[in-house]
Protein backbone atom coordinates (compact mmCIF):
# COMPACT_ATOMS: atom_id res chain seq x y z
CA UNK A 1 0.00 0.00 0.00
CA UNK A 2 1.34 3.43 -0.96
CA UNK A 3 0.49 6.20 1.47
CA UNK A 4 1.16 9.92 1.20
CA UNK A 5 1.54 12.11 4.26
CA UNK A 6 0.55 15.65 3.27
CA UNK A 7 2.94 17.84 5.23
CA UNK A 8 5.40 20.68 4.76
CA UNK A 9 7.56 19.43 7.65
CA UNK A 10 9.07 16.07 6.73
CA UNK A 11 11.36 15.85 9.75
CA UNK A 12 8.81 16.28 12.55
CA UNK A 13 8.37 13.37 14.96
CA UNK A 14 4.91 12.28 13.78
CA UNK A 15 5.97 12.04 10.14
CA UNK A 16 9.12 10.09 10.93
CA UNK A 17 7.13 7.71 13.14
CA UNK A 18 4.65 7.11 10.32
CA UNK A 19 7.54 6.26 7.99
CA UNK A 20 8.97 3.86 10.58
CA UNK A 21 5.59 2.22 11.22
CA UNK A 22 5.07 1.92 7.46
CA UNK A 23 8.31 -0.01 7.00
CA UNK A 24 7.14 -2.60 9.55
CA UNK A 25 3.92 -3.03 7.58
CA UNK A 26 5.54 -3.07 4.12
CA UNK A 27 3.80 0.19 3.26
CA UNK A 28 5.48 2.84 1.16
CA UNK A 29 5.19 6.14 3.06
CA UNK A 30 6.05 9.37 1.24
CA UNK A 31 6.02 12.87 2.75
CA UNK A 32 4.35 15.09 0.15
CA UNK A 33 4.36 18.89 0.23
CA UNK A 34 0.77 20.02 -0.48
CA UNK A 35 2.12 23.17 -2.11
CA UNK A 36 4.38 21.25 -4.47
CA UNK A 37 1.82 19.34 -6.53
CA UNK A 38 -0.48 20.51 -9.33
CA UNK A 39 -4.14 19.55 -9.61
CA UNK A 40 -4.27 17.38 -12.73
CA UNK A 41 -7.68 16.80 -14.32
CA UNK A 42 -8.43 14.09 -16.88
CA UNK A 43 -11.68 12.74 -18.23
CA UNK A 44 -12.47 9.24 -16.96
CA UNK A 45 -13.51 6.53 -19.41
CA UNK A 46 -17.20 5.62 -19.08
CA UNK A 47 -17.76 2.80 -16.63
CA UNK A 48 -14.16 2.76 -15.40
CA UNK A 49 -13.06 3.71 -11.89
CA UNK A 50 -10.65 6.62 -11.69
CA UNK A 51 -7.14 5.53 -10.79
CA UNK A 52 -5.76 6.95 -7.53
CA UNK A 53 -3.92 10.25 -7.91
CA UNK A 54 -0.17 10.00 -8.68
CA UNK A 55 0.06 6.39 -7.54
CA UNK A 56 -1.07 6.70 -3.89
CA UNK A 57 -3.71 4.46 -2.38
CA UNK A 58 -4.24 6.53 0.74
CA UNK A 59 -3.31 9.84 2.34
CA UNK A 60 -2.80 11.11 5.88
CA UNK A 61 -3.33 14.90 5.91
CA UNK A 62 -0.91 16.62 8.27
CA UNK A 63 -0.75 20.17 6.90
CA UNK A 64 -1.09 23.02 9.38
CA UNK A 65 -3.96 25.56 9.42
CA UNK A 66 -1.62 28.01 7.69
CA UNK A 67 -1.85 25.91 4.53
CA UNK A 68 -5.51 25.01 4.87
CA UNK A 69 -6.63 26.47 1.52
CA UNK A 70 -3.98 24.69 -0.55
CA UNK A 71 -4.12 21.46 1.43
CA UNK A 72 -7.92 21.34 1.29
CA UNK A 73 -7.98 21.80 -2.49
CA UNK A 74 -5.44 19.02 -3.05
CA UNK A 75 -7.18 16.67 -0.64
CA UNK A 76 -10.57 17.20 -2.31
CA UNK A 77 -8.93 16.53 -5.68
CA UNK A 78 -7.33 13.28 -4.48
CA UNK A 79 -10.41 12.00 -2.70
CA UNK A 80 -12.47 12.53 -5.85
CA UNK A 81 -10.02 10.22 -7.60
CA UNK A 82 -10.37 7.34 -5.16
CA UNK A 83 -7.62 8.05 -2.63
CA UNK A 84 -8.60 6.96 0.90
CA UNK A 85 -8.01 9.73 3.43
CA UNK A 86 -7.52 9.43 7.19
CA UNK A 87 -9.65 12.52 7.92
CA UNK A 88 -11.53 13.80 4.92
CA UNK A 89 -11.21 17.29 3.52
CA UNK A 90 -14.64 18.34 4.78
CA UNK A 91 -13.98 17.11 8.31
CA UNK A 92 -10.65 18.93 8.53
CA UNK A 93 -12.21 22.13 7.21
CA UNK A 94 -15.03 21.89 9.77
CA UNK A 95 -12.61 21.26 12.65
CA UNK A 96 -10.58 24.35 11.75
CA UNK A 97 -13.61 26.62 11.56
CA UNK A 98 -13.72 27.72 15.19
CA UNK A 99 -17.08 29.45 14.96
CA UNK A 100 -18.63 26.40 13.33
CA UNK A 101 -17.23 24.23 16.13
CA UNK A 102 -18.71 26.48 18.81
CA UNK A 103 -22.14 26.34 17.16
CA UNK A 104 -21.97 22.59 16.54
CA UNK A 105 -20.79 21.56 19.99
CA UNK A 106 -23.14 23.96 21.73
CA UNK A 107 -26.10 22.64 19.77
CA UNK A 108 -25.24 19.09 20.87
CA UNK A 109 -24.82 19.87 24.54
CA UNK A 110 -21.03 19.65 24.81
CA UNK A 111 -19.81 21.89 27.63
CA UNK A 112 -17.16 24.45 26.67
CA UNK A 113 -15.60 27.57 28.18
CA UNK A 114 -17.63 30.67 27.40
CA UNK A 115 -16.43 32.02 24.04
CA UNK A 116 -17.33 34.86 21.71
CA UNK A 117 -16.35 36.29 18.34
CA UNK A 118 -16.04 40.05 17.89
CA UNK A 119 -16.55 41.10 14.30
CA UNK A 120 -16.30 44.86 14.85
CA UNK A 121 -14.37 47.01 17.31
CA UNK A 122 -17.43 49.05 18.21
CA UNK A 123 -19.15 46.33 20.25
CA UNK A 124 -16.03 45.05 22.00
CA UNK A 125 -16.32 47.14 25.15
CA UNK A 126 -19.98 46.26 25.73
CA UNK A 127 -19.40 42.55 25.12
CA UNK A 128 -16.50 42.47 27.56
CA UNK A 129 -18.55 44.24 30.22
CA UNK A 130 -21.58 41.96 29.90
CA UNK A 131 -20.07 38.54 29.33
CA UNK A 132 -16.48 38.25 30.57
CA UNK A 133 -14.39 38.70 33.67
CA UNK A 134 -10.60 38.98 33.79
CA UNK A 135 -8.22 37.49 33.03
CA UNK A 136 -9.52 36.12 29.74
CA UNK A 137 -7.98 34.48 26.70
CA UNK A 138 -7.67 35.77 23.15
CA UNK A 139 -7.27 32.89 20.71
CA UNK A 140 -6.37 33.50 17.08
CA UNK A 141 -8.13 31.16 14.66
CA UNK A 142 -4.84 29.89 13.29
CA UNK A 143 -3.38 29.16 16.72
CA UNK A 144 -1.49 25.89 17.05
CA UNK A 145 0.69 24.25 19.70
CA UNK A 146 -0.28 27.01 22.13
CA UNK A 147 1.02 29.81 19.92
CA UNK A 148 -1.54 32.47 19.09
CA UNK A 149 -3.22 32.08 22.48
CA UNK A 150 -2.68 34.90 24.95
CA UNK A 151 -4.00 35.89 28.36
CA UNK A 152 -5.06 39.49 29.01
CA UNK A 153 -5.52 40.85 32.49
CA UNK A 154 -7.82 43.86 32.19
CA UNK A 155 -10.27 45.71 29.94
CA UNK A 156 -7.73 48.21 28.61
CA UNK A 157 -5.27 45.49 27.62
CA UNK A 158 -8.06 43.47 25.99
CA UNK A 159 -9.37 46.41 23.94
CA UNK A 160 -5.85 47.30 22.78
CA UNK A 161 -5.16 43.75 21.61
CA UNK A 162 -8.59 43.41 19.96
CA UNK A 163 -7.94 46.63 18.02
CA UNK A 164 -4.52 45.34 16.90
CA UNK A 165 -5.95 42.05 15.63
CA UNK A 166 -8.72 43.85 13.77
CA UNK A 167 -6.13 46.08 12.07
CA UNK A 168 -4.23 42.96 11.03
CA UNK A 169 -7.47 41.34 9.81
CA UNK A 170 -6.62 38.40 12.05
CA UNK A 171 -9.72 36.45 13.15
CA UNK A 172 -9.88 35.50 16.83
CA UNK A 173 -12.10 34.43 19.70
CA UNK A 174 -12.44 35.65 23.24
CA UNK A 175 -12.58 32.77 25.70
CA UNK A 176 -13.17 32.40 29.41
CA UNK A 177 -10.02 31.68 31.41
CA UNK A 178 -10.41 28.59 33.61
CA UNK A 179 -8.22 29.50 36.58
CA UNK A 180 -9.03 26.42 38.64
CA UNK A 181 -7.39 24.18 36.02
CA UNK A 182 -4.06 25.56 37.29
CA UNK A 183 -2.33 25.29 33.92
CA UNK A 184 -3.28 21.66 33.27
CA UNK A 185 -5.33 20.06 30.51
CA UNK A 186 -6.00 16.65 28.95
CA UNK A 187 -5.27 15.35 25.47
CA UNK A 188 -7.32 12.35 24.36
CA UNK A 189 -6.45 10.75 21.03
CA UNK A 190 -9.56 9.47 19.24
CA UNK A 191 -9.14 6.98 16.40
CA UNK A 192 -12.09 5.45 14.58
CA UNK A 193 -14.51 6.31 17.39
CA UNK A 194 -12.31 5.05 20.22
CA UNK A 195 -9.95 6.76 22.66
CA UNK A 196 -6.67 4.89 22.16
CA UNK A 197 -4.43 6.97 24.45
CA UNK A 198 -4.59 9.94 26.81
CA UNK A 199 -2.26 12.17 28.74
CA UNK A 200 -2.38 15.03 31.20
CA UNK A 201 -0.27 18.09 30.43
CA UNK A 202 0.95 20.70 32.91
CA UNK A 203 2.26 24.12 31.99
CA UNK A 204 5.66 25.31 33.13
CA UNK A 205 5.55 27.67 36.14
CA UNK A 206 4.33 31.10 35.13
CA UNK A 207 2.54 29.93 31.98
CA UNK A 208 -1.05 28.78 31.50
CA UNK A 209 -0.53 26.81 28.26
CA UNK A 210 0.22 23.15 28.82
CA UNK A 211 1.41 22.37 25.27
CA UNK A 212 4.51 20.19 25.09
CA UNK A 213 6.00 22.49 22.42
CA UNK A 214 6.03 25.26 25.04
CA UNK A 215 7.70 23.15 27.69
CA UNK A 216 4.62 21.61 29.29
CA UNK A 217 5.16 18.33 31.13
CA UNK A 218 3.10 15.28 30.18
CA UNK A 219 2.09 12.19 32.11
CA UNK A 220 -0.08 9.21 31.22
CA UNK A 221 -3.73 9.68 32.15
CA UNK A 222 -6.68 7.30 32.55
CA UNK A 223 -9.67 9.33 31.31
CA UNK A 224 -13.01 9.18 33.05
CA UNK A 225 -16.13 7.95 31.25
CA UNK A 226 -17.50 11.49 30.86
CA UNK A 227 -14.23 12.66 29.27
CA UNK A 228 -14.13 9.67 26.91
CA UNK A 229 -17.72 10.26 25.85
CA UNK A 230 -17.03 13.97 25.26
CA UNK A 231 -13.96 13.27 23.13
CA UNK A 232 -15.64 10.61 21.00
CA UNK A 233 -18.76 12.72 20.52
CA UNK A 234 -16.80 15.83 19.50
CA UNK A 235 -14.65 13.96 16.98
CA UNK A 236 -17.71 12.17 15.60
CA UNK A 237 -19.71 15.37 15.15
CA UNK A 238 -16.90 16.72 12.97
CA UNK A 239 -16.56 13.46 11.05
CA UNK A 240 -12.91 12.98 12.04
CA UNK A 241 -11.31 9.53 11.90
CA UNK A 242 -8.34 10.72 13.95
CA UNK A 243 -8.42 13.64 16.37
CA UNK A 244 -6.59 15.10 19.31
CA UNK A 245 -9.27 16.29 21.72
CA UNK A 246 -8.27 18.77 24.42
CA UNK A 247 -10.32 18.92 27.62
CA UNK A 248 -9.90 21.05 30.72
CA UNK A 249 -11.19 20.48 34.25
CA UNK A 250 -13.32 23.24 35.75
CA UNK A 251 -15.47 23.77 38.82
CA UNK A 252 -18.50 22.84 36.69
CA UNK A 253 -16.97 19.65 35.25
CA UNK A 254 -14.90 18.83 32.15
CA UNK A 255 -15.00 21.39 29.34
CA UNK A 256 -14.04 20.86 25.72
CA UNK A 257 -11.23 23.19 24.67
CA UNK A 258 -10.45 22.17 21.10
CA UNK A 259 -10.46 19.36 18.56
CA UNK A 260 -7.27 19.06 16.52
CA UNK A 261 -7.62 17.45 13.10
CA UNK A 262 -3.87 16.93 12.68
CA UNK A 263 -2.58 16.19 16.17
CA UNK A 264 1.01 15.57 17.06
CA UNK A 265 1.65 12.55 19.25
CA UNK A 266 5.28 12.60 20.36
CA UNK A 267 4.57 13.22 24.04
CA UNK A 268 1.53 10.96 23.93
CA UNK A 269 3.47 7.96 22.60
CA UNK A 270 6.29 8.60 25.06
CA UNK A 271 4.15 8.64 28.20
CA UNK A 272 1.49 6.11 27.20
CA UNK A 273 3.56 3.54 25.31
CA UNK A 274 0.80 3.33 22.68
CA UNK A 275 1.91 2.92 19.05
CA UNK A 276 -0.27 5.75 17.74
CA UNK A 277 1.44 5.84 14.33
CA UNK A 278 0.98 2.11 13.86
CA UNK A 279 -2.69 2.22 14.83
CA UNK A 280 -3.30 5.02 12.32
CA UNK A 281 -1.73 2.97 9.54
CA UNK A 282 -3.60 -0.19 10.56
CA UNK A 283 -6.88 1.70 10.24
CA UNK A 284 -5.97 2.92 6.74
CA UNK A 285 -4.85 -0.55 5.66
CA UNK A 286 -8.14 -2.02 6.87
CA UNK A 287 -10.02 0.35 4.57
CA UNK A 288 -8.13 -0.52 1.39
pLDDT in tens, 11-40: 999 999 999 999 999 999 999 999 987 666
Give yes or no: residues 241 and 156 share one domain. no
Give yes or no: residues 229 and 158 share one domain. no
E strand segments, the chain: 2-6, 28-32, 58-61, 84-85, 115-116, 136-144, 147-152, 172-176, 184-191, 194-202, 217-220, 242-250, 253-260
Give yes or no: residues 77 and 209 share one domain. no
pLDDT in tens, 118-170: 776 667 888 888 889 999 999 988 767 667 889 999 999 999 999 999 899 88
> How far apart (Å, rounded) are the C-alpha atoms in residues 135 and 24?
49
Give yes or no: residues 210 and 154 share one domain. no
Give yes or no: residues 167 and 184 share one domain. no
ω into 135 cis (within 30 of 0): yes
Q: Which residue range forms the structural domain that includes residue 15?
A: 2-90
pLDDT more than 70, % of the chain: 88
The structure's pTM equals: 0.88
Q: Which of 151-155, 157-161, 211-215, 245-249 has the lowest mean pLDDT?
A: 211-215
Give yes or no: residues 34 and 100 share one domain. no
- Which whole-number Å values give the CA distances from 105 to 18, 62, 110, 140, 236, in the listed order? 31, 24, 5, 19, 11
Question: Domain ends where: 131, 150, 177?
Answer: 177
Give yes or no: residues 188 and 271 share one domain. yes
Helix, strand, or coil (residue 104): helix
List the CATH number of the domain containing 102.
3.30.470.20
DSSP 241-255: SEEEEEEEEETTEEE
Give yes or no: residues 207 and 72 share one domain. no
Give yes or no: residues 173 and 188 share one domain. no
Give the contacts of 182 (CB within 8 A, at least 6 positions apart). Answer: none
pLDDT in tens, 275-287: 999 999 999 999 9
Say if 270 falls within a structural domain: yes
Total number of domains in the chain: 3
> How far apart (Å, rounded) are the C-alpha atoms in residues 102 and 241?
20
List the CATH number of the domain containing 144.
3.30.1490.20
Say if 213 falls within a structural domain: yes
List the CATH number of the domain containing 62.
3.40.50.20
- Contact of 83 with 52, CB cutoff 8 Å: yes
Cβ neighbours, 10 Å, residue 245: 28
Say if 153 falls within a structural domain: yes
Question: Domain ends where: 177, 205, 221?
Answer: 177
Give yes or no: residues 184 and 222 share one domain. yes
Give yes or no: residues 100 and 222 share one domain. yes
Give yes or no: residues 30 and 173 share one domain. no
Amino acid sequence: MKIAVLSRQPDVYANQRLIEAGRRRSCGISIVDPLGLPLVFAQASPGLRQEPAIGFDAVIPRFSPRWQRQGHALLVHWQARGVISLNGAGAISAARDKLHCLELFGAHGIAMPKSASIETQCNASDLLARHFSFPLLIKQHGSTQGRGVERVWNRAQALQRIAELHRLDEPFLLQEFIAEAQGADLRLFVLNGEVIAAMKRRAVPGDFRANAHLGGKAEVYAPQAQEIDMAIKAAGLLGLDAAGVDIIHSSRGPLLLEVNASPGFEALERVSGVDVAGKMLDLLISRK
